[in-house]
Amino acid sequence: MIVRIPGLLRSYTAGADAVEIADCATVADALAALDARFPGLRFRIVDEQGAIRPHIKLFVDGDLARHLAAPAGGVRELMIVGALSGG
């Protein structure tokens, strides 16, 4: 699948705005694969309790994923978005 990387995380991906990873069963698996390739990225968007951080949104083929157990099998795109978080 393609993972769309927002500007605020591109320091982890050497500037890449999209990266390709192998198909994953869940969003959790996708983020684990992403973190293995770009260490530290996952903790910036998921807290130590496994919750997606308040100002981060994850979209799986356009649908909002509210938790990491959301299925991701066969999806084409995981989009990471930094939502509005104030000044």
Residues that bind another protein (CB under 8 A): 8-9, 39-40, 43-51, 53, 55-56, 82-83, 85-86
Q: How far lies 71's CA from each of 13, 30, 45, 85, 86, in Å?
A: 24, 10, 18, 27, 30
**Which of 47, 61 has the CB closer to another protein?**
47
Q: In the numeric block, which tokens belong to residue 70? A: 């959301």
Q: Considering the complex, state which of residue 23 and residue 47 has its C-beta at the smaller distance from another protein.
A: 47
Nearest distance from residue 10's CB to another protein, in Å? 12
